[in-house]
């Protein structure tokens, strides 16, 4: 699989990364429902076997459960064969399973130490501020991360879900290695300002939810949406309920022939599409079981033709027009 350099750093990421948001389970407000731990570990191992060289996780995913599973999956793996690890700080689980932002220096340092323990590593390859919440504390958190980097606890520092203005506030303190935003056929907001700014300033982009949280896999259906459990946060996401759900599934059916004509799975096309942008370093694919990475991995090396890109653009413009008629938008950072 091809690799791309992460911004101005020395890290090289494969164009597909293993995402572990969902394997954190469903016992919190942004969970994905119950998770089979053996399947999760097997999925991580399969992704590595297929050539993926990095994993994205976060302390808040299942209140540490995701990091524990990543550590378990990598525990017996020789150091030279281990993938790069990216994780995040700044989100704290509350007693009622909701999430609150905390970016004070002592909290960031404490979270880092806890993540190192759960992951079973001496250094984190990429450490990220998960959300700029509270906004007034992002500089304090960023300065704490610089200290952690200087202490050898982390190799590179980046952010997730930050605005361009917030990036500009952090850059003078220490260069931002990467931005992790949502980006998919169903959410193109970052094309307006974020991607141009990151490209101009040498900031890597590792996008999450390129599959639209499963909507773009080619396997999702109205019946599956209706069956989502209360533990799955997607059951509360407007993209998974009519009228947006209907429009999103129409996109899938429109792009399905493009994938079939190329001998590819539908799930590979959304990945190839986000990777068409030179600013994008890698796309994160959620892996709850081996088959998910097996079905998507080919998207990391698929270069779409101009004709294919034009066909996709026409489909997406039609969806945008229908959303506008309904007075709705699918933009947003979750």
List CB contacts of 318: < 8 A, sequence separation 6 or more: none
Rounded Cα–Cα distance for residues 224 and 229 (Å): 10
Q: CA of 294: how far to CAs of 186, 190, 211, 306, in Å?
A: 23, 28, 14, 26
Closest to 204 in 3D by CA, of 266, 159, 260: 159
Rounded Cα–Cα distance for residues 210 and 6 (Å): 18
**Token digits of residue 216:** 């773009």
Residues in a beta bridge with 157: 127
Rounded Cα–Cα distance for residues 15 and 285 (Å): 10
> Active site includes 197?
no
Residue 289 CA to its chain's centroid (Å): 17
Q: Which of 61, 127, 197, 208 is catalytic?
A: 61
Backbone torsions φ then ψ of 126, nearest 5 degrees: -140, 120
197 backbone φψ class: left, alpha, beta (φ>0; ψ -120 to 50): alpha
Rounded Cα–Cα distance for residues 207 and 158 (Å): 13
Q: Are 187 and 332 in contact (CB under 8 A)?
A: yes
Q: What burial class does residue 305 get, using C-beta atoms within 10 Å of its C-beta: 0-12 exposed, 13-18 middle, 19+ buried? A: exposed
Q: Are 185 and 153 in contact (CB under 8 A)?
A: no
**Annotated active-site positions, please?**
61
């Amino acid at each position: 699989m091809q690799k791309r350099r992460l911004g101005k750093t020395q890290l090289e990421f494969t164009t597909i990364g293993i995402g572990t948001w969902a394997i954190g389970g469903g016992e919190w407000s942004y969970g994905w429902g119950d998770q089979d731990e053996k399947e999760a570990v097997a999925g991580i191992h399969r992704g590595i076997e297929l050539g993926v060289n990095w994993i994205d996780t976060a302390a808040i995913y299942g209140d540490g459960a995701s990091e524990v599973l990543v550590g378990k999956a990598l525990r017996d793996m020789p150091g030279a064969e281990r993938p790069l690890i990216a994780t995040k700080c700044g989100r704290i689980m509350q007693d009622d399973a909701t999430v609150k932002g905390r970016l004070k220096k002592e909290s960031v340092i404490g979270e880092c130490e806890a993540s190192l323990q759960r992951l079973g590593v001496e250094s984190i390859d990429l450490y990220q501020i998960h959300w700029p919440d509270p906004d007034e504390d992002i500089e304090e958190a960023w300065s704490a991360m610089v200290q952690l980097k200087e202490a050898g606890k982390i190799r590179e520092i980046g952010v997730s879900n930050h605005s361009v203005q917030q990036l500009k506030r952090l850059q003078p303190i220490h260069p931002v290695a990467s931005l992790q935003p949502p980006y998919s056929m169903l959410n193109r907001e970052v094309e307006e300002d974020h991607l141009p700014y990151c490209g101009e300033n040498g900031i890597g982009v590792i996008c999450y939810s390129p599959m639209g949280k499963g909507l773009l896999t080619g396997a999702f259906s109205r019946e599956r949406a209706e069956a989502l459990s209360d533990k799955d946060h997607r059951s509360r996401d407007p993209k998974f309920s009519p009228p947006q759900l209907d429009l999103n599934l129409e996109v899938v059916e429109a792009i399905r022939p493009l994938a079939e004509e190329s001998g590819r799975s539908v799930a590979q096309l959304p990945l190839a599409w986000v990777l068409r942008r030179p600013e994008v370093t890698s796309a994160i694919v959620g892996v709850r079981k081996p088959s998910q990475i097996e079905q998507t991995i080919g998207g990391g090396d698929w270069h779409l033709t101009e004709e294919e890109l034009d066909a996709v653009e026409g489909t997406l413009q039609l969806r945008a027009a229908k959303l506008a008629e309904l007075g709705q938008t699918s933009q947003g950072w979750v």
